[in-house]
Chain A
């Protein structure tokens, strides 16, 4: 016997609750009725069975998946790409906790959302009984009943002044079945392919014969020989520096040119602490380091040229060494300039 789908629209909650009662009295089970509304009215209002909820497995499953992802990201990848420190892999706990927190949160939210979609069978891909006036405030009651009962239901609807009554053959409404699962399966597969294809390519599992000049060059991996010799004219960065025309450590005469160079270099490297005249005047940093001498000239007077050279190169107390910033010749220029400051 063919079933019928009926939809009645009612003005308010109270009438709808009455209709639900009377339709149930006609022998229509609760599962064959659906109430639709524009506000979240609960089942209790219509004296109907509460809706069953299955969120917990989704949320917990999501959280577990998130924990697994976090485990892979933290311990898994440091196992795959180890950084050895003191003969051990580097796996500090506190950052790991942060990654766990974020991944568990993310995946439990995704799990809750997935639960919402799957329990509601969203997206609905088949035709459903509906009326657009429901979102304007009418309350819709959908009843599925065999022909004989359907007639009586219509009578009940009319007795309660239903605004609209729709009546259609239930065969016109195919059940949703697993369509929504197929839909999400297709979406998921598409997403997986979109992630996997670049990964397969980048891990060289699928090889594309790109024309690549890098294949022809010699591969020298980190910490492997042969070590290439320095090109001609390169300057060694460690050890003594011998450059033609530049004195190594021999003092430079305090010529006009040397003093000029010294003044410029002093302004760049020393003045921010010692002041332009060696008296700390206008030196922003000097305020915070009381041990900087009031008069650089007076302080320098008790040192030999070689001592002065060493202090500038290597630093003293809290003064940083400037060996990296100055060539030996430049250092002598500064020594000459400091001597010229006077006491």
Chain B
């Protein structure tokens, strides 16, 4: 009986430990973001002061609002384009048997594991050739390299599990493949589309390497680059308060989305093995 109690206590201690480790850094970032002046440099574990100074500073001075708008625009367009391209592609990959199908699937999986640095030089040349360097189009284009493979992969696994009967009925009625995709499959696919769309959005929102390389001015940067390059009045002074406020601003929407769509995201992650 005592042994049982010890085991239970140990288990719950482990649970508490996991939760604290997971959440504490974000909690501490929020705590810091509400501090200003010298309070910033006092170490507190609980909220002691409340000041919105960091937030007003980040949102009114500099180009951070512009960066937020850039990120929002780029991530949204990336999601729309990759879903559009992936839905038809995964219909073909999941419902039609043709030669080379499994090779194609393997190729798509291979691209999803691609080291992005390996294409950086060639992509840089191509983006300059298109004349889209330092514009949102450069990032929208470049982000396809990681959003397309996993949207195709997840949607293919999802569509493969849909019953064949619904499609057969449509074929008997003489529906063309396009009609089958848009009228029969699309309505059934909303859960999968929401999941993949969310994952693509998060991936595009968080991307750093391409954003750092393919934009070169404050006005065209996305938020991760803006936060990484946020600097103070002097070179030696790191504006920790502002950085934490900016970090909280870009992270809160993501955390809220992830918590709302928890189940969907977990199923999408495990189906696609998307990068963490």
Indicate, yes or no, whether A interacts with B.
Answer: no
